[in-house]
Structure formats: structure tokens, C-alpha cells
Structure 1
Amino acid sequence: MIAAIALTVILGVLAVFQLALALGAPLGRFAWGGSHRVLPAGLRIGSLVSIVVYALIAVLALDRAAVIDVVPDVVSTVGMWVVFAYFVLGIVMNAISRSKPERYTMAPISAMLAVLSLIVAVG
């Protein structure tokens, strides 16, 4: 349960970050390849979609950890393995970014999320 809550807290912080990006905060060097200081409209929409994805991941994690019960067990079990793979891919994508700020902040955050999601997936 602790891993699911920690995962949810980190996702909440990332959701605030993505909302700031969507609203035009000059933090683009930390996300989406780091090539924009302020994100263009398409990437701002992507940031809003990320918030929804983070919320869905949090629901899966909390459901898998039995903190809540809103989806069938098979959905949260399989879903958390998909989430784990998603964050492993995130590590790779952030690690190969041309943006040093993105590499040095988001790759380690993706690694933390991958470890936490693995713990939750294993149950």
C-alpha cells in the first residue's frame, strides 16, 4: 500500500507540473524532448492528456493495493504490469533526450515510478 500511495503522490506532483506546462509555464526544457521553453499548443494538449493518464494510473495502483475497489482485479493486475512497462519505456525516452534538464530530472523520476509500479504490480 505504501508503494501505491508514493506512486500516487509522485504522479500528483507530475500532474501539477504538466498543468503548469499546459498553462504556458516556461518549463518546457524538462519535458517533451526539451526543445521548447514554452510548449506549443499541441504539446500543451499532450500535457493535459498526461494528467488524465496519471489519474488513471493512480486509480489502477490504488485499486491493486486494495486502497480502493473500482475496477476488477484482473484489470488492476494486468494494468499495473502495463504501467510498469510504460515507465520503463519512460526511463529510456527521458535518458536519450537531447535536453540535459530532462535527462537529469525526468529519467530518475521515471525510474522511481517504474520501481514503485513494479512493487505494486507484484503486490
Structure 2
Amino acid sequence: MGGKFPGKYPGSMRFACIFQIAILAFMGIIVLSKAGLLWPQWSVFAETAIWFIVAYLVLGTILNLITRSVWERRIWAPVTLLMLITSIMVAIT
């Protein structure tokens, strides 16, 4: 989150982290469903939703590349880029 809060996060930021975890879990379910590995009943929804995930990851990769936080650039930029590449691979298959 930009390295703005060293040490413990304030309460509102802790809630934001929990919300982000939920978003990432939902994204994982969609990608796995689109790949045919989880919940086949979601496959129709996943066909469209995967492209929203790709767009979200494009934005996330860009933001992690331009952040002032050195650690976010070093750690999270490659992670989001890898997630972007793999989600595109799943989306086009």
C-alpha cells in the first residue's frame, strides 16, 4: 500500500487489507473456474469475469511499478506481472 504506514497499520488500513484478501480470493476462484479446475457451474460467468481480472491486474502492475515504495516495486511488481501473464493465458484458452 505504498509503504506509507511503517509498522502496524491503523484500523482502517487493516480493514482494507482484509477487503483486498477477499478480492484476491474471488479472483482466484474465477481464474480456477475459467481454467476448469474449480466450480464448473461458474464457467459462463468466468468467461467474462476473467477479462475484468486482466484489466485489474494491468492496473495493479502499473501501480506497483510506479509506487515510491522500493519493496513494492521489488516484490509486488513482479508478482502482479506474473499474475497478469498467467491470467491472460487462462483468458485466451
Q: Does the pair score TM above 0.5?
A: yes
1:70 equivalent to 2:34? Answer no
Gaps of 5+ in 2: none
Q: Partner amino acid for 2:75?
A: T
> What is the CA deviation profile of residues 5-44 of structure 1, one whole-angstrom value per residue up to 9, with x for unaligned ones?
xxxxxxxxxxxxxxxxxxxxxxxxxxx1111122111111
**Percent identity between the two aligned chains:** 27
DSSP-derived class of the 2:67 partner = coil
Q: Partner amino acid for 2:21?
A: I
Assess, with a 3 A threshold, how the Cα gap between structure 1 residues 70 and 59 changes in structure 2: closer, same or farther: farther
> What is the CA deviation profile of residues 41-84 of structure 1, one whole-angstrom value per residue up to 9, with x for unaligned ones?
111101101111111111111110111213241x1011111101
Aligned length: 91
Q: Shift of the alpha carbon at 1:100?
A: 0.5
Per the normalisation by structure 2, the TM-score is 0.91
RMSD of aligned Cα (Å): 1.1
1:36 equivalent to 2:12? Answer no
Assess, with a 3 A threshold, how the Cα gap between structure 1 residues 92 and 62 changes in structure 2: closer, same or farther: same
